[in-house]
Amino acid sequence: MNSISPQLQNQITQFQQVQQQLQTVSTQKLQMEAQIKEFDRTIEELEKSTGDVYKNVGSLMIKVSDKDAVKAELEEGKETYEVRVKSLERQEASLRERFETLQETINKAMGQQSN
């Protein structure tokens, strides 16, 4: 078997790096999506609430008099996460395309070397 060319070694290294980046982005996206679901549940419970409302501020729980302001804060936070998820989705698609291109290139090169 022939030794692997420096160019192919470089492509394999790039492939591994893209694979790691893709995993990282996918994990971040899943975490953000989970946070969005948590925002949804919190907003839903806030809307159902008829009694006093409290929110965490650092390690304290503080009674809130303006329920609408809390809801607005939650919705703003949710929107921020949704924008971030869209950005991660674009990044993920770009990385996935690069991953597939490198995979195809490496497979072709390995096939040519075995001939």
State the pLDDT at residue 4: 82
pLDDT band at 110 (very low <50, low <70, confident <90, very high): confident
In the chain, % of residues over pLDDT 70: 96
Query: Residue 28 above 60 pLDDT?
Result: yes
Whether residue 15 is predicted with pLDDT greater than 90 in this model: the reply is yes
Q: What is the pLDDT confidence band of residue 77, given thresholds at 50, 70 and 90?
A: very high
Please tell me the predicted confidence (pLDDT) of residue 114: 64
Task: Look up residue 54 and give its two tokens.
Answer: 């409290």
DSSP state of 2: P
**For residues 67 and 53, is the Cβ–Cβ distance under 8 A?**
yes
Mean per-residue pLDDT for 82-95? 98
What integer pLDDT is reported at residue 1 of this predicted model? 45
Cβ neighbours for 96, distance < 8 A, ≥ 6 positions apart: 22
| Structural domains present in the chain | 6-113 (1.10.287.370)
pTM score of the predicted model: 0.82
CA distance to 16, 69, 75, 81, per residue, from 46 (Å): 45, 11, 12, 19
